[in-house]
Amino acid sequence: MSSFWSLWIIALVAINILGSWWLLQANRKIAKGEGATTGHEWDGIQELDNPLPYWWYLMFLGTLLFAILYLIFYPGLGNFKGLLGWSSTGQWEQEVARAEAKYQPIFDRYGQMSVEQLQSEPQALKMGQRLFATNCSVCHGSAATGSYGFPNLTDAEWIWGGQPQAIEASILHGRQAQMPAWGPALGDEAIKQVTEYVLQVSGRDADPQLAQAGAEVFASTCAACHGPDAKGNPALGSPNLTDAAWLYGGSRAEIAHSVRAGRQGQMPAFADQLGHERVRIVAAYVYSLNEASGQSSP
Ligand code: HEC
Ligand code: HEC
């Protein structure tokens, strides 16, 4: 706040307090003496010109005193911060620090344990579930089953690997998938062929002739990332194309679109935001979802 507006607010507050005090004093005086009427009468009720009751007067003075003391100790007078130095940010920081002091030892203890060890700590998994609800469910869904473009974390199909270390690394450092757009390089015909090939290797109806031509395209263009058997490569985040799990939908049109336009799925990094201990805890929760469904990867 500029010093002009600060002074302006100080002046307004001072005028208000002085004005209230003047109003109070002005109304203590009575013109005609106790018991006289003001001349106002309505329905047989007369208004007497009596002074304010003394207790009421003192209460009013008390509120003025309170306002003045408040403005001395707490912020309120323009840029003046108050003698106590209180601020809402400061209070919030204190509360955060108190919560940290309370929970940090718990986080530290869990942070020392491995994801596998945490599987037998129900409290840690519960914490992980809460961390997941706050930080992850916007993208992966509250049940972690994912949606278009966001992988299902409860099944046995992993893009970047389902071992505890791989899951933890996905969360800590994030993941950036790079599937190039093949439209310009391949052209429509080759895209059609390789799409049929992908449909074929994933066990669906495909045009055999186009698929045969597509196999060649795949071997020369796609196998480097997706592997010669199209089973994917967790190191590159290139998914297995032979299973039923599709990040972007497995229809003919979606597959062709993935190939033509490319895909760049991004998983944000959480190391800074959550810290290593909380990441370990939420990784343990994600891992437990697979344990629970009995599909854990080796
Ligand atoms: C902004 C959206 C977003 C948020 C928030 C998010 N994720 Fe992700 N996550 C993604 C996307 C997109 C991918 C897939 C990246 C790709 O295309 O390979 C992914 C991938 C993953 C993977 C790897 C999956 C695999 O199959 O290998 C894990 C594990 C994961 N996320 C866990 C989490 C956890 C735990 C959180 C919360 C701490 C979280 N994610 C928050 C978008 C998000
Ligand atoms: C440079 C490595 C690379 C090459 C080469 C590559 N891909 Fe990909 N592909 C990826 C990655 C990484 C993803 C995951 C994208 C994401 O998660 O956003 C992917 C995703 C896909 C998907 C979507 C899978 C799903 O689950 O929805 C299809 C389909 C696909 N690729 C087919 C192909 C075909 C066909 C070719 C050859 C024409 C090819 N890719 C070449 C890296 C590659």
In this predicted structure, what is the pLDDT of residue 295?
46
**Residue 163 within any structural domain of the chain:** yes
In this predicted structure, what is the pLDDT of residue 293?
55
Q: Residue 230 Cα, ligand 2 centroid: separation in angstroms? A: 10
pTM for this structure?
A: 0.76
Considering the domain architecture, whether residues 103 and 242 belong to the same structural domain is answered as no
**Residue 149 within any structural domain of the chain:** yes
> Mutate which of 267, 280, 296 to test ligand 1's pocket (most atoms within 8 Å of Cβ)?
267
Considering the domain architecture, whether residues 116 and 168 belong to the same structural domain is answered as yes
> Which residue range is the domain that position 287 belongs to?
92-176+268-292
Region of 86 (left: φ > 0; alpha: ψ -120 to 50; beta: rest) is beta
At position 283, the amino acid (one-letter code) is A
Considering the domain architecture, whether residues 149 and 210 belong to the same structural domain is answered as no
| Positions of the chain with pLDDT lower than 50, given as ranges | 295-298
Q: How many CB atoms lie within 10 A of CB 81?
A: 13
Closest protein CA for atom 9 of ligand 1: 267
Considering the domain architecture, whether residues 189 and 256 belong to the same structural domain is answered as yes
In this predicted structure, what is the pLDDT of residue 140?
96
Query: Would you say the CB of residue 179 lies under 6 angstroms from ligand 2?
Result: yes
Considering the domain architecture, whether residues 206 and 259 belong to the same structural domain is answered as yes
Considering the domain architecture, whether residues 223 and 248 belong to the same structural domain is answered as yes
Q: Residue 239 Cα, ligand 2 centroid: separation in angstroms? A: 7
Closest protein CA for atom 2 of ligand 1: 139
Closest protein CA for atom 34 of ligand 1: 136
Considering the domain architecture, whether residues 104 and 163 belong to the same structural domain is answered as yes
Query: Would you say the CB of residue 151 lies under 6 angstroms from ligand 1?
Result: yes
CATH number of the domain at 187, please: 1.10.760.10
In this predicted structure, what is the pLDDT of residue 35?
75
In this predicted structure, what is the pLDDT of residue 297?
45
Considering the domain architecture, whether residues 125 and 195 belong to the same structural domain is answered as no
Q: What is Dmax (Cα atoms) for the chain?
A: 114
Considering the domain architecture, whether residues 168 and 96 belong to the same structural domain is answered as yes
Tell me which ligand sits closest to the C-alpha of residue 239: 2
**Residue 101 within any structural domain of the chain:** yes
What Cα–Cα distance (Å) separates residue 265 from each residue in 53, 133, 148, 160, 270? 74, 21, 11, 12, 16
Closest protein CA for atom 17 of ligand 1: 265
Considering the domain architecture, whether residues 172 and 272 belong to the same structural domain is answered as yes
**Residue 3 within any structural domain of the chain:** no
**Residue 51 within any structural domain of the chain:** no
**Residue 113 within any structural domain of the chain:** yes
What's the number of domains the chain is made of? 2
Query: Would you say the CB of residue 204 lies under 6 angstroms from ligand 1?
Result: no
Which residues on neighbouring strands pair with residue 179, listed in sequence order?
A: 263
Residue 57 burial (C-beta neighbours within 10 Å; 0-12, 13-18, 19+)? middle
**Residue 40 within any structural domain of the chain:** no
Tokens 């993935």 sit on residue: 258
Which residues make Cβ contacts (< 8 Å) with residue 124, sequence separation at least 6? 110, 113, 118, 281, 284
> Mutate which of 238, 252, 259, 260 to test ligand 2's pocket (most atoms within 8 Å of Cβ)?
238
Tell me which ligand sits closest to the C-alpha of residue 232: 2
**Residue 187 within any structural domain of the chain:** yes
Mean pLDDT score of the chain = 91
